[in-house]
Amino acid sequence: MNELSTTYLGLELRSPIVASAGPHTGDPLTVERLEAAGAGAAVLPSLFEEEILHEEIELNRALEAGTENFAEALDYFPATPFLETAADKYLALIERTKASVSIPIIASLNGTSIGGWVRYARLLEDAGADALELNLYRVTADPHRSASEIEDDDVSLVASVRAALSIPLAVKLSPYYTSTAHFAGRLVHAGASGLVLFNRFYQPDVDLETLDVIPRVELSRSWELRLPLRWIAILRPLLGDSISLAATSGVHSMADVVKALLVGADVTMMTSALLENGAHHVDVVVEQLRAWLAEHDYESVAQLRGSVSQAASGDPSAFERSNYMKTLHSWSTPVSP
């Protein structure tokens, strides 16, 4: 049997396939099936600070309704010793999932304020999470804030959370930073144990009948892996082997997993493929990966990793703009009249 084990965020994983955040990882029974199929770890769905604050605001509004006019309104609701919030449910999910599987469980946090990030990060660690993934998911639309200001805020956030935690810390990035390589280095200097490339933004659509802006959730496709492949290949030699890199967006097949490992990823993360095919898809990919390694004379994932990174590639410029013209000229089909 080929050695599929890998190290991610200092955690020993039995395979490089991680079930990333999504509806499937919010169910401990499904995580059990993912573990049985060969997943190396699971990232729980994100805990959103906005969701917690919304619950608190709505609860306070309900409890205080009418109190400005009628003193009796204070007795509308009996005193309750405990009301379960979204945060409480998430902490319970960590505990239940940890109790049911042996693979590492990574919590995911999407916050809006440094205070919220730090507070909930500590709670997630206390609940038993093996690592924390900070999800830097936002659309920067303020014309009065420069790119450097936004990046400074993100670096400060990572440093604050790092100072509050003892478990490993991964940062999930968007692909829209102005200087990805420089920013990645700053995050590592601030305490990130690893980077997850890249966050997938869900774009709104417009309904032509109602003229409403509506959400459109579309699952990823393998071609979307190309952007993470490029940047992991570039970052691997720059950041060194001590920093973990995870490829996400577009990981569907054994071929996608192998490509990500070749350019230097420590793990590959799946969401859309699992939503489409179920937990057993991990088993299919694991067996195909094992067969591919044997066929190509690789003894382990460790031997494979980074073979085609920018430093190891026979054509390092292929990952940068100098290959741009060659790519455009590769289209040879004549234009129809």
Give the pLDDT score at 56: 46
Distance CA(114)–CA(117), nearest Å, equals 5
Give the pLDDT score at 55: 45
Give the pLDDT score at 214: 86
Q: Residue 24 carries which DSSP code?
A: G
Helix (H, G, I), strand (E, B) or coil at 220: coil
Torsion, CA 23, CA 44, CA 258, CA 254, rounded to 10? -30
State the pTM of this model. 0.86
| CATH code for the domain defined by 6-306 | 3.20.20.70
In DSSP terms, 19 is beta-bridged to 42, 270
Give me the sign of the Cα torsion angle 235, 239, 240, 244. Answer: negative
Distance CA(89)–CA(165), nearest Å, equals 21
Nearest alpha-carbon partner for 219 in 243, 242, 202, 235:
202
Give the pLDDT score at 123: 93
Backbone φ, ψ for residue 240 (5° rounding): 85, 170
Domain ranges of the chain: 6-306
Give the pLDDT score at 52: 56
Give the pLDDT score at 197: 97
* Residues 154 and 190: beta-carbon distance below 8 Å: no
Give the burial string for 38-55 (b: 16+ CB within 10 Å, else e). Answer: bbbbbbbbbbbbeebeeb
Q: Residue 25 carries which DSSP code?
A: G
Beta strands in the chain (DSSP E): 6-8, 11-13, 17-19, 41-48, 105-110, 131-135, 169-173, 194-197, 204-206, 213-215, 244-247, 267-270
How deeply is 321 buried, as exposed, middle or buried, from its count of CB atoms within 10 A (0-12, 13-18, 19+)?
Answer: exposed
Q: What is the pLDDT along the chain (337 residues), one digit of tens a residue?
A: 459 999 999 999 999 999 999 899 999 999 999 999 999 999 999 887 656 544 444 444 544 545 455 555 555 555 555 566 778 899 999 999 999 999 999 999 987 667 778 888 999 999 999 999 998 877 777 899 998 999 999 999 999 999 999 999 999 999 988 899 999 999 999 999 999 999 887 778 898 999 898 887 788 899 999 999 999 999 999 999 999 999 999 999 999 999 999 999 999 999 999 999 999 999 999 999 999 999 999 999 999 999 888 777 767 666 766 556 666 666 666 656 6
Tell me, what amino acid is at 57? I
Question: CB atoms < 10 A from the CB of 224, how many?
Answer: 17
Q: Residue 300 carries which DSSP code?
A: B
Give the pLDDT score at 34: 98
Residues in contact with 216: Cβ distance below 8 Å, sequence separation at least 6, in sequence order: 202, 203, 204, 205
Distance CA(22)–CA(17), nearest Å, equals 15
